[in-house]
Structure 1
Amino acid sequence: MMLGRKIAAEMLGMAMLLMIVVGSGIMGQRLAAGNDAIALLANTIATGAGLIVLIHMFAPLSGAHFNPAVTLIFLLRRETPPAIAIFYVAAQLGGAVMGVWAAHAMFGEQIWQISIKLRDGGGQGFSEAIATFGLIGTILTTQRSRPEFTPTAVGLYISAAYWFTASTSFANPAVTVARSLTRSFAGIAPSSVPLFIVSQIAGAFCALLLFGWLIKEEPSHV
């Protein structure tokens, strides 16, 4: 029963996150009258604020990974068992897709969509590696020093990364896949998805190596 609640929490949290990301993208695009900067600002504020709330809501239930890259890192650090990690990733993907569809339904959009927004090129891939590297670093370091600050730190980091990365910081394989299913401001063409996911996983591994070394506790000498 406990495992079922954990999986449900990951799925629901991801669905709510994608409703926020895609819904605010649609609203921002409609109200900005073609001003992409205003649309991105609206998308940023909603996503950052939503992340803080969602992590506080679901962290006691599932750990609030909401990201296959995060689950992978916790798996490699032996903080999440392999069986749970598999269920988490499946729940994250399923929840993310449902969140996109829910956002479409709220705004009277066609439910099934495929994005045509290309996000290609080395700069985009490097941006996703940097974005995910910073996200994993934020989680690992704050979890060690100030775990109560982690939700706020994640929300603030993603808000900043929306603006300092060329890719607007997806930093999440499940989010990337789900956002290929919307033609809204938040979308990504399916052909651009593999580059993003490979870059995200590479950035996560680099963060695990570097930040894992930085925060490694030295054995005490008696």
Structure 2
Amino acid sequence: MNTEQLQLVLNSALEALPTLLGATPITLGFALAAMLLGLPLGFAVALARLSGVRALRGVSSLFVSFMRGTPLLVQIFVIYYGLPSLGVTLNPVAGGIIALTLNAAAYLSETIRAAILSIPKGQREAATSLGLNPSQTMRLIILPQAARVALPSMSNTLIGLVKDTSLVSVITVVELLRSAQLVIARTFEPFGPYLAAALIYWGISSLLELVQRALERRFSRGS
């Protein structure tokens, strides 16, 4: 790449930057919405997988297996393009959030389940001997410790969601990647806008990693 070509790429990246930054809150909104909705759903699925009721274990295990065993892009297509054939029509925003939420919930459920199982059984027995019922034991003894164990994986899930939001561009959601594509369609210069989009994704991920490390240090001091 000569100097003139490099200058062209830099100029196109700088020209695309305002548009891409304007779309960044949409990307963050999708990721945060999927995380906030996926956490309680993932927790419910984790409890179902740990349940003594065989039907609950079977249904929840099937859900996790399907969501983790199929591409997120296919899940988006099934929800947005497939459900209308069953009479359920969703707008692109709702379809994207639902797909991301269900996918995140499957991965979060495994993180939460593993964290709960990592707590020694002796602590449950000690809680029972103190007169705590199963609900109190879970809320007061198990979950506070499990949260420390699950934090790194949950943070990684959020970082992954930020990047996965790029897939909702295929259903016309104008998020970060789709904005870059629209700029390219206008300027016919792909390298700069895509590079600028990549740098924004990288910046967001790096910032979230810093927050993750800060939270881990705080939890470790409190343990």
| Greater helix fraction, Structure 1 or Structure 2 | 2
Which TM-score applies when normalising by structure 1? 0.32
Larger CA Rg, structure 1 vs 2: 2
Higher relative contact order, chain-length normalized (CA < 8 Å, sep 6+): 2
